[in-house]
């Protein structure tokens, strides 16, 4: 896979194309309980490299609960 970064967006191509750099995929690090590995793409001189960061898990809030929070509705 190949990528290019333009105007804040990543574009991909399956074959070498002018202006695109090869992609280097990497394995995620192990994350302790309560954390997970999240990736982002780092553009280097010759390639885009998949880079990982271990971040804390965040409790998900469903849509109805989020709306109640925004409207200040108490349950």
Reported pTM: 0.68
pLDDT digits (tens, 9 = 90+) for 9-65: 999 999 999 999 999 999 999 999 999 999 999 999 999 999 999 999 987 778 888
Asked whether the beta carbons of 55 and 38 are under 8 A apart, the reply is yes
Phi, psi of 66 (to 5 degrees): -65, -40
Q: What is the DSSP letter of 43?
A: E
Provide CB contacts within 8 A for 19, sequence distance 6+: 4
Please report, for the chain, the start and end positions of each structural domain, with discontinuous segments joined by +: 2-71
Alpha-carbon distance of 10 to 67, in angstroms, equals 32
CA–CA separation, 10 vs 69, rounded Å?
34
């Amino acid at each position: 896979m190949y990528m290019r970064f333009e105007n804040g967006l990543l574009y991909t191509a399956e074959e070498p194309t002018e202006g695109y750099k090869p992609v280097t995929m990497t394995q995620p690090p192990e994350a302790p309980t309560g954390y997970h590995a999240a990736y982002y793409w780092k553009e280097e001189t010759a390639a885009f490299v998949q880079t990982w960061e271990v971040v804390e898990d965040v409790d998900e809030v469903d849509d109805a609960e989020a709306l109640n929070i925004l409207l200040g509705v108490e349950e």
